[in-house]
A = this chain, B = another copy of it.
Amino acid sequence: MGKPKIVIVGGVAGGASAAAKARRCSEDAEIVMFEKGPNIAYANCGLPYYLSGVIENRDNLLIVTEKRFQQRFRVDVQTQREVSRIDRARKVVVVRNLKTGSMEEEPYDRLILSPGSSPVIPPLPGVDLPFVFTFKTLEDTDRIYQFVREKRPRKAVIVGGGLIGMEVMENLGLTGLKVSIVERLGQILPFLDWDMAELVRQHAETKGASLLLSQGLKVIENRNGSGMVHTEVGKTVKADLVILSLGIRPNVALAVEAGLEIGETGGIKVNEYMQTSDPDIFAAGDCVESIHRVTGKPFLTPMGSVANKQGRAAGANALGRKIAVKGFLGTVILKVFDLTIAKTGLSEVEAQQASFDPLVTFIHPGHIAEYYPGSKPLHMKTITDKTSGQLLGGQVIGEEGVDKRIDVLATAIYHRMPLDELLHLDLAYAPPYSAARDPVVIAGAIGQNFFEGDWIPITPTALHEKIESRGNLTLIDVRSRKECLKEGMIPGAIHIPLHHLRDRIDQLDKDRETVVYCRTGLRSYLATRILMQKGFTRVKNLTGGTMSWVYPVKKGGLR
């Protein structure tokens, strides 16, 4: 190619990254970028915060204007142009001008597809009513923004309690709306395990959020211009505004029609160079499937940060470079009221689905030194392959310091780090930033203790099932009397404060299954060590203690 002609379909995260990188790789290339919508390279992930006014100025969302992009990169940016067909034999795309309706052909040497994804709209009555919206693009946001300011709705229902649903819930709430979420599953934020999502649900409800779980949308009814949302279990919620937030699907129609290979996840199949089954066609962003670094299997991870990396590689490789994309971990983070919620790698459920035998631990250390003002508890769950010792995933919830720990875990998992090695990380320590034992280091230490044979954890859910099934069990609460009285006890527990355990050990049956617990799992670990060394053969420690216990407790249960 003397002067290669690069055509890019889509001008937001993946497409704009590809165009900019392509230019940096070649001053000579002719680069044309078609975008269906009116804007390119806008801050998709900032949209919920613009709804609420947290981001005040709409212009701030437009990261690069069309004009500056053309000036800086000499890319021929064509907005409101929809690429409707790829003719691979002739190497042209057919483009519809959405302003005029006219059709044109554009030849390419290399084509980069980054058409993004579309919101899932369920085939249910009422989803096309005028007060029902999807929330995906800047134009969607503009429509909702205008509706809220003009029609002054008082009640909103969001259908779907995933990441976007929860972000929109909080931001709509900030405008004064009363917001309910309707969710088909038994939990919000399905990328989390139930036990972690439950902490978020409880927090959201203390903030006045109304979360209707285990009930999908059935129908939206129009009553005099505002709506009634009916759920599958017969519940009805009034709504002046409904937002459908049921996830997204990769936009693959163009690729399918052109005969490009589509993966099992429904995304376009690409190799590590973002090359599709046609070597002259690359793809990036929400439309492709990625490789999960832990499972090695394809998955969808529609994030702006992912699209940028993929677009950059696609742009370079379309010009003959060989820049690999090394897979992703499905890392996510979001804010829900006072909490930050983050996850990387596999959840416990996902680890089981991928046939791992997971070691699960919970810890609840302060996000900084507990003696320093402003320390807030973190809730950290780690999932580890018992066979290899490799850390598979982490989930962190808390008011502060969550993003730091999830990024350290993501970096660790990138390197297939064993859980116990986290202990060795030389993380930055000063009281305003961390404890001398950082939460990540603590997770490593308790992992090492497990692999050294010093303790066996039991999860809250496993213990709860055991109690429900009335198993034969000694359950020992080693907290102080004051804590038991104040916070209640797990049903069926007996109370032996840690510092009396050695003296009362002879009252206990060495051969009976024994579970110990405290508030966080630390004192009960010490109790575990005492019991195991004194010949107790079947001791388990409730990992995370009562701070991980999301089930009912028994008040006044002390004896």
Interface residues of A (CB under 8 A from B): 13, 23-24, 26-28, 43, 45-46, 49, 54-56, 60-61, 63, 71-74, 167, 293, 303-306, 308-309, 312, 321, 323, 325-335, 340, 342, 344, 369, 371-373, 403-404, 406-408, 410-412, 414-415, 417, 421, 423-434, 436-438, 440-441, 445, 448, 452, 454, 498-499, 502, 523, 525-526, 529-530, 533-534
Contacts and interface: CB of A to CB of B under 8 A. Distances in A.
A369 B436 contact: no
A333 B369 CA distance: 14
Nearest to A74: B502
Q: How many copies does the complex hold?
A: 2
A427 B309 CA distance: 12
A431 B171 CA distance: 13
Given A49-B431, A323-B448, A373 B54 contact: yes
A520 B414 CA distance: 29
Contact of A43 (B63, B73, B371): B371
Nearest to A368: B403
Contacts of A412: 411
Contacts of A55: 371-373, 431
B344 A428 contact: yes
A452 B312 CA distance: 14
A417 B423 CA distance: 18
A428 B331 contact: yes
A37 to B, nearest CB: 18
Contacts of A371: 43, 46, 55, 60-61, 63
A332 to B, nearest CB: 7
Contacts of A46: 369, 371-372, 431
A46 B430 CA distance: 8
Of A13, A372, A403, A434, chain B has the most CB atoms within 10 Å of the CB of A403
Given A27-B529, A46-B431, A54-B373, 14 more contacts: A26-B533, A27-B530, A46-B369, A61-B371, A63-B371, A73-B526, A305-B429, A309-B441, A333-B428, A335-B433, A404-B407, A407-B425, A410-B427, A411-B412
